[in-house]
């Protein structure tokens, strides 16, 4: 990426995308600061906002940030129309439905009438509709993988990357709903080529 004129970019403050987002920006000579909410890079004049990944689409939609780096899964879930400027080949993960190892649920059809905990209610709802399955969606914002242990749900719909979290909680994958990677996004009205050359 070559910078034509300074812009504001929103990236994840803490989490799986942070390090690779930073590395991507460093390739364009943009340096980052630790433990701040925003900073301005001396080399390039680029302003960086460090925010929750789930909030990045809204920042870009509002024009508070010109660009953002976020998972495709987050964009798909929130339904905000953004331009995908570039796929970034990191942050690869899958949204899956998983059930306890010991569960009698063996197929997608077996989910009928069951409770599924998720932070991705919209993607899950679409999937269940496509499959013609009626199940209850239990919407929670975090630690979804413990929901079956707590008897809050019979299944979960959550992201998996290495598979470690599912394994730790004795959960087995039933089906993949969505495959995702990190992408550089902009507001559809932004004249991208005035700011960067890929």
In the complex, the residues that contact Zn ion under the rule CB under 5 A are 53-54
Q: Which of residues 115-154 bind ligand PRP (CB under 6 A)?
A: 142, 145
Q: If binding is defined by CB under 6 A, does position 158 make contact with ligand PRP? A: yes
Give the list of residues 6+ apart from residue 162 with CB closer than 8 angstroms, or none.
none
Distance (Å, whole) CA 156 – CA 131: 17
Question: Shortest distance, CB of residue 116 to ligand PRP, whole angstroms?
Answer: 14
In this structure, are residues 57 and 80 in contact, taking their beta carbons and an 8 Å threshold?
yes
Beta carbon of residue 173, minimum distance to ligand PRP (angstroms, whole number): 10
Shortest distance in whole angstroms from residue 1 CB to Zn ion:
24
Binding at 132: pick from ligand PRP, Zn ion, none (beta carbon under 5-8 Å per type): none
CA gap 43, 193 in Å, rounded? 20
- Could you say which of ligand PRP, Zn ion, none residue 162 binds, taking C-beta under 5 to 8 angstroms by partner kind? ligand PRP
CA distance 77 to 123: 6
Q: How do strand 38-40 and strand 2-3 relate by DSSP bridges?
A: unpaired
Q: Which is nearer to ligand PRP, 43 or 89 (CB)?
A: 89
Rounded CA-CA distance 72/87 in Å is 9
Q: Is 15 in the site for ligand PRP (CB under 6 A)?
A: yes
Which residues of the shown chain bind ligand PRP in the complex (CB under 6 A)?
15-16, 53, 142, 145, 158-165
């Amino acid at each position: 990426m070559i910078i034509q004129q300074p812009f504001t970019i929103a990236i994840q403050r803490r989490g799986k995308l942070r390090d690779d987002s930073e590395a991507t920006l460093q390739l364009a000579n943009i340096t980052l600061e630790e433990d701040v909410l925003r900073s301005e890079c001396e080399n390039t004049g680029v302003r960086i906002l460090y925010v929750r990944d789930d909030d990045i689409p809204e920042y870009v939609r509002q024009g508070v940030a010109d660009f953002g780096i976020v998972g495709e899964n987050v964009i798909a879930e929130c339904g905000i129309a953004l331009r995908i400027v570039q796929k970034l080949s990191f942050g690869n993960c899958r949204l899956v439905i998983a059930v306890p190892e010991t569960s009698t649920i063996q197929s997608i059809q077996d989910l009928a009438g069951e409770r599924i905990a998720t932070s991705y209610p919209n993607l899950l709802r679409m999937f269940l509709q496509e499959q013609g399955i009626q199940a209850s969606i239990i919407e929670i914002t975090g630690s979804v993988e413990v929901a079956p242990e707590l008897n809050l749900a019979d299944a979960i719909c959550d992201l998996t990357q290495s598979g470690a979290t599912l394994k730790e909680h004795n959960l087995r994958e039933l089906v993949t709903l969505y495959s995702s990677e990190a992408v550089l996004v902009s507001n559809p009205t932004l004249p991208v080529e005035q700011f960067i050359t890929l």
